[in-house]
Amino acid sequence: MLVLGIDTSCDETAAAVLSDGRCILSNVVASQVVHARFGGVVPEYASRAHMTMIVPVVEQALEQAGVAFSDLDGVAVTNRPGLVGCLLIGVSYAKALAYDLDIPIVGVDHIEGHVFAVRLARPDVRLPAVCLVASGGHTELMLVEDWGRYETLGRTRDDAAGEAFDKVGKLLGLEYPAGPAIETLARGGDPTAFDFPRAMMERGNLDFSFSGLKTAVRYQLDDIGRVPEGAELSDFLASFQQAVVDALVAKTVRAAEAASVTTIAVGGGVAANAHLAKHLTEEASRCGFETIVPPGKLCTDNGAVIAAVGDSLFSRGVRDGLDLSARASR
């Protein structure tokens, strides 16, 4: 089955063609640069950019896959959660396409898409597994009992992990999204140079909180009295990054222990962070767990993971009608 996957939930216009649920024939992502100087996504600009990009991005995805519109067997589109104005562009386009080609359409949960990065990376993964989804909008620990069957074990009470990276980047004058830049600048820095809090670490707690960390960063910057540079900036960001990574790793391993699974997996943009991958893999292996970290391109927003969820839904007979709508929440 050839499925076109579309994601326009935030600031990336993404389309991919997936064959038989696992073979990625193309995976095109157009990142919007318009938000860089605002320190976060401006919803109205994002919707307008999706409108301009959706047609060329889908055309490119088909061209790279070497298939024609008439070859498609189904279209999967993120319809929740996300910025409604942005989601509507993808959903409207997908509905028009499904109607025109007379093929089935299915709406996909963006967070489930992040989980399916794991299945694309490792089709033979043994379930149940605990999956950490850490992105710009969500930070959640999920028990993946089966594909399509999940239980939430913990989630952030305030900011998402990616949001913490982006907000700290903004405080330091870095462009949005700041996660990748912080990872690069932190390289070689001393992660113990600055003392940042790890919140909600008491036993049994599987939730996260990152807003206190962001405030601690602001206070430390006030104390320093200027934006750090050079080695001091590396130390500062390495210390901040370590605080996020420590919380994510500790809770994820704790969740895997509580759920008695043998496999830990990650998805979402923050999972593209190599420092997180290294620490999680080391700690998980020390505690006897296997870790799956999908390639960065499957962790950040993309159409392939949406197509993968769509393929799985189609194979279970799930379809939506042309009344499919977009939702801000799950």
Which residues sit opposite 80 in a β-bridge?
A: 109
Of these partners, ligand KG4, Zn ion, none, which one is at the site of residue 162 (CB under 5 to 8 Å by kind)?
ligand KG4
Q: How far is the CB of 38 from ligand KG4 (least distance, A)?
A: 14
Q: Please, are residues 105 and 324 in contact by the beta-carbon 8 Å criterion?
A: yes
Of these partners, Zn ion, ligand KG4, none, which one is at the site of residue 183 (CB under 5 to 8 Å by kind)?
ligand KG4
Q: Which is nearer to ligand KG4, 90 or 268 (CB)?
A: 268
Q: Which is nearer to Zn ion, 119 or 254 (CB)?
A: 119
Of these partners, Zn ion, ligand KG4, none, which one is at the site of residue 74 (CB under 5 to 8 Å by kind)?
none
Q: Please, are residues 172 and 233 in contact by the beta-carbon 8 Å criterion?
A: yes
Of these partners, Zn ion, ligand KG4, none, which one is at the site of residue 78 (CB under 5 to 8 Å by kind)?
none
Strand ranges across the sheet with 149-155: 149-155, 139-146, 129-134, 263-267, 290-292
Prior bond to 43 cis, omega within 30? no
Q: Which is nearer to Zn ion, 191 or 269 (CB)?
A: 269
Q: How far is the CB of 268 from ligand KG4 (least distance, A)?
A: 5
Amino acid, res. 220: Q
Q: Please, are residues 174 and 158 in contact by the beta-carbon 8 Å criterion?
A: no
Q: Of 108-167, which residues contact Zn ion (CB under 5 A)? A: 135
String marking each residue 294-323 x if it binds Zn ion according to CB under 5 A: -------x----------------------
> Could you tell me how many residues of this chain bind Zn ion (CB under 5 A)?
2
Helix (H, G, I), strand (E, B) or coil at 269: helix
Residues interacting with ligand KG4, by CB under 6 A? Answer: 10, 135-137, 162, 165-166, 177-180, 183, 268-270, 272-273, 300-301
Q: How far is CA 302 from the centre of its chain?
A: 9
The DSSP H or E segment spanning 91 is helix 84-101
Q: Which is nearer to Zn ion, 136 or 191 (CB)?
A: 136
Q: How far is CA 254 from CA 11, 174, 246, in A?
A: 32, 33, 12
Q: Which is nearer to Zn ion, 135 or 312 (CB)?
A: 135
Token pair in block for residue 129: 């597994």
Q: Which is nearer to ligand KG4, 136 or 294 (CB)?
A: 136
Residues at the site binding Zn ion, with contacts judged by CB under 5 A: 135, 301
